[in-house]
């Protein structure tokens, strides 16, 4: 690994990618770069957004590096690392391709819906290089396969290779998924006194977090030494938050083993759940999601907006989902790590002033389009359709998202890219339509989720009293053929997955 890069295109777009180093027109697959979008896995305070997603993605990208280097691909023969002509005879990549993909070719059949048991993921059904990387990630994180599907035979292909199984053990040990044996111990050594197993410890942590209390001191005989135990506890904490995001008000945990051998944990809770704000703390009172959004919109010029949340039933995810509706992609609004402020972070490498100007320009462009397209006799439904038709007709999709993600400008993820450059990906289409609907005073939110297994963004809007979904990205170029995703219900979004209840709750909170 020669380069490690951090970048951001905002949340829920490109999370990470790897590629061989290319210098002076020559590709060198003895050296690789990996790039990770830090805003998809960490917020500006260093808090992880999704521990499991980060782990899986890094393993997937490492699978590319492991299985596309010079031992696997001869670039003097093939066009690139994906060309089977260059796959080295006798190498793992060649053998996997011959066993499972020779009849499909490198781009595959895209037949996940027809043959879901042939792949470990929907994403892998489209390309050989993604299938082998996804299979590697599942091989590392999962257990031995017990069935006889094609997907599990692919996993067994990894399990039968001693080098792969040795690598798997090393990676899992470093991740804390397998506990290393302590030096100087043997299976015949007497077991230490047991007060709690790892499972019992996790349960104790969970009980404390639910009650918004501190865990009791524990004598823990988990299968790790005292030096490793705090890291194991931290991993349990991350696992709890991953499985129960409603507990994210417990924003940090530290632990140590004292001289008496007892494990002591300290959980840090957001003050809005405990009522224990610092003495003299001054913050704008927030009693609901609508007020939260109002405060954020009024403070975009600030780096941090102190707030005092007075409604303890609000969840961290619901508040951050509401804050995503502010800033137009140029200013990222989030709840601070301890929940006592809204942080406002410029995006796209811009200064705060530049980001504010770009947001203002986007809103001005939306106003111009609205005034050009909408006529006085139009009702709300007709206005929405006219604005949708404009967007799907005038804006092209930026396919660099797939072919050259590093070359795609950040603006393509925003309304500015759609309305100024007429070039965008789903985030740009959705935010542009949101801005246009806001000009028409039509209540709406953007919705983030997945379509066909890929990250996606679309719009939920209230037109003539009904909350309906709109996906201008998927309807681009269809103005003359009839729209498929204009003003549809949930049942029409068969290939979409999202937090439906979260979206409905947000609309009810923002537009009571």
Q: Tell me: do 7 and 123 sit in the same domain.
A: yes
Residue-level pLDDT at 47 = 61
Q: How confident is the model at residue 181 (pLDDT cuts 50, 70, 90)?
A: very low
In the chain, how many domains are there?
Answer: 4
Q: How confident is the model at residue 260 (pLDDT cuts 50, 70, 90)?
A: confident
Q: Tell me: do 260 and 284 sit in the same domain.
A: no
Q: Find the mean pLDDT for residues 203-223.
A: 83
Q: CA-CA distance, 381 to 464, in Å (whole number)?
A: 7
Q: CA-CA distance, 39 to 457, in Å (whole number)?
A: 16
Q: Tell me: do 166 and 83 sit in the same domain.
A: yes
CATH code, domain carrying 475: 3.10.620
- On the question of pLDDT at 187 being above 70, the answer is no
Q: Find the mean pLDDT for residues 462-480.
A: 95
Q: Tell me: do 255 and 292 sit in the same domain.
A: no
DSSP three-state, residue 466: strand
Residue-level pLDDT at 192 = 29
Q: Which of the residue ranges 51-55, 236-240, 363-367 would you say has the lowest mean pLDDT?
A: 51-55
Final residue belonging to a domain, choices 140, 175, 210: 175
Q: Tell me: do 322 and 430 sit in the same domain.
A: no
Question: Above pLDDT 90, what percent of the chain?
Answer: 62
Q: How confident is the model at residue 176 (pLDDT cuts 50, 70, 90)?
A: low
Q: Which of the residue ranges 22-26, 175-179, 409-413 would you say has the lowest mean pLDDT?
A: 175-179
Q: Tell me: do 311 and 384 sit in the same domain.
A: no
Q: CA-CA distance, 142 to 168, in Å (whole number)?
A: 10
Q: Tell me: do 262 and 288 sit in the same domain.
A: no
- On the question of pLDDT at 190 being above 50, the answer is no
Q: Tell me: do 75 and 12 sit in the same domain.
A: yes
> Domain for residue 180, yes or no?
no
Cβ proximity of 51 and 234 under 8 Å? no
Q: Tell me: do 50 and 145 sit in the same domain.
A: yes
Task: Quote the pTM value.
Answer: 0.61
- On the question of pLDDT at 462 being above 50, the answer is yes
Q: Find the mean pLDDT for residues 27-43.
A: 79
- On the question of pLDDT at 220 being above 90, the answer is no
Q: Find the mean pLDDT for residues 136-155.
A: 86
User: Per residue in 409-425, pLDDT tens?
Assistant: 999 999 999 999 999 99
User: Per residue in 40-86, pLDDT tens?
Assistant: 666 556 565 555 566 778 888 999 999 999 999 998 988 888 889 99
Q: Tell me: do 164 and 21 sit in the same domain.
A: yes
User: Per residue in 369-388, pLDDT tens?
Assistant: 999 999 999 999 999 999 99
Q: Which of the residue ranges 140-149, 417-426, 446-455, 460-469 would you say has the lowest mean pLDDT?
A: 140-149
Q: Tell me: do 32 and 64 sit in the same domain.
A: yes
Distances (CA, A) of 125 to 62, 105, 128, 452: 19, 11, 8, 11
Residue-level pLDDT at 5 = 82
Residue-level pLDDT at 193 = 25
Q: How confident is the model at residue 450 (pLDDT cuts 50, 70, 90)?
A: very high
Q: Find the mean pLDDT for residues 27-41.
A: 82
Q: Average pLDDT over the chain, rounded to whole?
A: 88
Residue-level pLDDT at 43 = 58
Q: Which of the residue ranges 163-177, 425-439, 454-468 would you say has the lowest mean pLDDT?
A: 163-177
List of residues 6+ apart from 248 with CB closer than 8 A: 241, 315, 316, 317
List of residues 6+ apart from 176 with CB closer than 8 A: 231, 232, 235
The domain in which residue 413 lies consists of 352-510
Which of the given ranges, 32-36, 55-59, 226-230, 413-417, has the highest pLDDT on average? 413-417
Q: Find the mean pLDDT for residues 443-451.
A: 97
Q: CA-CA distance, 420 to 427, in Å (whole number)?
A: 14
């Amino acid at each position: 690994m020669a380069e490690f890069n951090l970048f951001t295109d905002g949340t829920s777009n490109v999370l990470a990618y790897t590629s061989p180093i290319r210098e002076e027109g020559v590709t060198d697959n003895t050296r690789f770069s990996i790039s990770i979008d830090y805003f998809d896995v960490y917020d500006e305070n260093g808090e992880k957004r999704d521990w499991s997603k980060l782990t899986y993605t890094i393993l997937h990208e490492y699978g590319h590096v492991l299985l596309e280097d010079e031992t696997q691909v001869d670039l003097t023969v093939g066009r690139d690392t994906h060309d089977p002509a260059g796959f080295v005879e006798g190498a793992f990549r060649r053998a996997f391709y011959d066993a499972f993909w020779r009849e499909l070719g490198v781009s595959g059949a895209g037949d996940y819906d027809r043959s879901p048991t042939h792949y470990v993921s929907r994403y892998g059904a489209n390309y050989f290089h993604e299938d082998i990387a996804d299979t590697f990630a599942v091989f590392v994180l999962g257990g031995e396969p017990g069935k006889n599907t094609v997907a599990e035979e692919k996993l067994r292909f990894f399990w039968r290779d001693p080098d792969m199984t040795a690598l798997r053990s090393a990676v899992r040990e470093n991740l804390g998924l397998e506990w290393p044996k302590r030096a100087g111990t043997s299976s015949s050594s007497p077991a230490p006194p047991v007060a709690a197993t790892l499972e019992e410890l996790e349960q104790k942590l969970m009980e404390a977090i639910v009650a918004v209390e501190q865990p009791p001191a524990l004598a823990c005989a988990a299968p790790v030494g005292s030096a490793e135990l705090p890291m194991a506890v931290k991993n349990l904490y991350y696992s709890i938050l991953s499985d129960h995001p409603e507990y994210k008000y417990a924003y940090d945990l530290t632990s140590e083993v004292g001289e008496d051998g007892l494990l002591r944990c300290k959980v840090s809770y957001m003050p809005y759940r405990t009522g224990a704000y610092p003495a003299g703390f001054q913050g704008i009172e927030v009693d609901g999601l609508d007020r939260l959004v109002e405060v954020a919109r009024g403070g975009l010029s600030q780096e941090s907006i102190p707030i005092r949340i007075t409604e303890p039933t609000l969840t961290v995810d619901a508040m951050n989902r509401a804050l995503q509706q502010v800033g137009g992609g140029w200013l990222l609004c989030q709840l601070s790590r301890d929940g006592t402020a809204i942080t406002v972070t410029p995006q796209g490498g811009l200064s705060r002033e530049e980001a504010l100007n770009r947001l203002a320009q986007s809103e001005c462009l939306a106003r111009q389009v609205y005034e050009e397209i909408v006529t006085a006799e139009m009702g709300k439904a007709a206005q929405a359709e006219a604005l949708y038709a404009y967007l799907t007709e005038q804006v092209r999709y930026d396919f660099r998202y797939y072919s050259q993600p590093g070359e795609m400008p950040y603006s393509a993820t925003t309304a500015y890219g759609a309305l100024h450059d007429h070039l965008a990906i789903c985030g740009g289409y959705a935010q542009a339509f949101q801005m246009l609907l806001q000009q028409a005073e039509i209540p709406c939110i953007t919705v983030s989720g997945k379509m066909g297994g890929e990250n996606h963004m679309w719009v939920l809007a209230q037109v003539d009293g009904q909350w309906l979904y709109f996906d201008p990205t998927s309807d681009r170029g269809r103005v003359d053929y009839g729209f498929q995703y204009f003003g549809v219900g949930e049942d029409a979004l068969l290939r979409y997955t999202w937090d439906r209840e979260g979206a409905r709750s947000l609309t009810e909170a923002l537009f009571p």
